[in-house]
């Protein structure tokens, strides 16, 4: 009851205080965000959901083809909430009963949505958030680690997009990096339980989860995919996450189709889920194929210039890319070749620069370049070790704040000092080199 009253109070203040014009966010002084006057982008022809076709698995190489996918039979989150939150109040007899009612000061919304009250009336597709690359992979002095802190601390610090690589082992999904022998951090279900506990305690937050399907190429004797979206259903349901998941009105969403954070929060459908390979829109309509909704710059990059070109999916044209969200992959990797082995590991030596606000190879520099190239900032900034960067802790969140046109004034990150974090990350970086040298000597 207390939470219900809180939500109703917030609804009233937000509905009365905010107008219907979407906030514009800026970067480096240039307007780069969609506003209500821009109009909604058109759906790419390949995504035309007026033509019904059943697609249950990803094309082998993750390409966009002329195939189309149908929209699931769903209702929008809440027409009533949308009418209150996203439109001008309708005049009634009570509105004209007293002059005081029309001249009284309007309340201001003070409740942040994803840490900023400005976001409450912005569309989900009109906000830049930081994504923890391989969020579950936290293991001290392990080369396969990508983050220093666990998911609860990540969310507390401001991470709102979680990505991880899942492996099917004896019928159970585990979060493992490349191999469960190299780094296994437990089941997907246990990880999601921790996420759900955080969501329960933070009712005004919207998060995104991108499931990486490592076994997407595995086939049974009949040639059918062994690991698809259906394998993620039980972990999601058993963890308690399913009631929080937002199911869009169609599988391929345009930028203008997404609801505002306020609408998602008021409906308590505060989680958007994507899968990179082997989606099944018919069986699991709430687990969206990432590449119908989000494209990515080159992934697993080793180029510190971080180009803003289209990396995935293959075959996506520029016109269509401008009509959906996009992710900037900014996790610098290094190739290590010793003793006939070739390993790709996070390049922790340059983390301060990679996650920095300014300078060559910095996240800030890439965000500016992508904004110039695509006329809007990236929606997701994917990074390793988000807590390291320059000039201060939380540099990646400063970059996101600048892209969003808001002021970053939070404290970051975790409980360890940056010096300790950098030291541990570099030890993890050197671990495979040491291991290979030892094996060669022996």
- The secondary structure of residue 230, as a DSSP letter, is G
Catalytic residue chosen out of the listed positions 7, 133, 202, 330: 133
Measure Cα distances from 196 to 167, 207, 271, 303 in Å: 21, 11, 10, 36
Active site residue 177: yes
Pairwise CA distance, residues 425 & 130, whole Å: 20
Catalytic residue chosen out of the listed positions 7, 167, 177, 330: 177
Q: Which two tokens stand for residue 66?
A: 């002329």
Task: Please enumerate in sequence order all residues whose Cβ is within 8 A of that of 426, keeping only pairs 6 or more positions apart, or say none.
Answer: 348, 349
List 117's β-bridge partners, or say none. Answer: none
Q: Assess contact for 336 and 374: CB atoms under 8 A.
A: no
Q: Which of 396, 388, 374 is nearest to 425 (CA)?
A: 388
Pairwise CA distance, residues 112 & 122, whole Å: 12
Q: Which two tokens stand for residue 201?
A: 């305690």
Query: Residues 211, 182, 179, CA angle at the centre, nearest 5°?
Result: 45
- The secondary structure of residue 298, as a DSSP letter, is P
DSSP 265-281: HHHT--EEEEESS---T
Q: Assess contact for 371 and 297: CB atoms under 8 A.
A: no
Pairwise CA distance, residues 130 & 408, whole Å: 13
* Buried/exposed 170-199: b ≥16 CB within 10 Å, e otherwise: eeebbbbbeeeeebbbebbbebbbbbbebb
Pairwise CA distance, residues 17 & 250, whole Å: 31
406 Cα distance to chain centroid = 19
Helix (H, G, I), strand (E, B) or coil at 130: strand
Counts for the chain of helices (H) and strands (E), in that order: 12, 14
List residues with catalytic annotation.
133, 177
């Amino acid at each position: 009851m207390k939470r219900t009253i809180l939500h109703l109070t917030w609804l009233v203040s937000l509905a009365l205080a905010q107008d219907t014009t979407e906030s514009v966010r800026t970067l480096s002084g240039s307007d780069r965000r969609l506003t209500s006057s821009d109009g909604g982008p058109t759906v790419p022809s390949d995504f035309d959901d007026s033509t019904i076709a059943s697609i249950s698995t990803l094309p082998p190489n993750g390409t966009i083809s002329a195939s189309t996918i149908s929209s699931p039979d769903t209702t929008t989150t809440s027409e009533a909430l949308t009418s209150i939150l996203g439109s001008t109040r309708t005049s009634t007899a009570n509105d004209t009963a007293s002059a005081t009612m029309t001249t009284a000061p309007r309340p201001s919304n003070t409740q942040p949505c994803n840490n900023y009250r400005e976001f409450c009336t912005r569309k989900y597709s009109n906000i830049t958030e930081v994504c923890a690359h391989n969020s579950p992979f936290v293991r001290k002095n392990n080369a396969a680690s990508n983050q220093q802190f666990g998911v609860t601390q990540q969310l507390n610090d401001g991470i709102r997009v979680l990505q991880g690589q899942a492996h099917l082992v004896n019928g159970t999904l585990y979060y493992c990096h490349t191999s469960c022998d190299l780094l296994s951090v437990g089941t997907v279900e246990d990880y999601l339980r921790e996420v759900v506990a955080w969501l329960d305690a933070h009712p005004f937050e919207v998060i995104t989860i991108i499931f990486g399907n490592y076994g997407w190429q595995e086939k049974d004797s009949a040639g059918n995919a062994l690991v698809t979206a259906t394998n993620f259903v039980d972990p999601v349901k058993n963890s308690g996450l399913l009631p929080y998941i937002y199911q869009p009105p169609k599988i391929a969403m345009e930028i203008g189709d997404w609801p505002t954070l306020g609408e998602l929060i008021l409906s308590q459908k505060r989680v958007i889920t994507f899968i990179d390979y082997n989606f099944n829109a018919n069986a699991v309509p709430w687990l969206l194929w990432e590449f119908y909704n989000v494209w990515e710059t080159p992934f697993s990059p080793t180029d510190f210039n971080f180009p803003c070109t289209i990396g995935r999916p293959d075959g996506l044209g520029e016109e269509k890319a401008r009509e959906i969200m996009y992710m900037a992959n900014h996790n610098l990797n290094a190739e290590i070749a010793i003793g006939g082995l070739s390993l790709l590991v996070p390049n922790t030596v340059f983390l301060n620069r990679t996650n920095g606000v300014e300078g060559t190879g910095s996240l800030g520099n890439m965000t500016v370049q992508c904004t110039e190239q695509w006329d809007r900032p990236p929606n997701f900034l994917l990074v390793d070790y988000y807590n390291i960067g320059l000039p201060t802790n939380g540099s990646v969140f400063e970059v996101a704040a600048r892209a969003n046109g808001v002021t970053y004034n939070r404290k970051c990150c975790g409980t360890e000092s940056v010096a300790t974090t950098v030291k541990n990350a570099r030890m993890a970086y050197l671990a495979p080199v040491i291991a290979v040298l030892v094996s060669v000597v022996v």
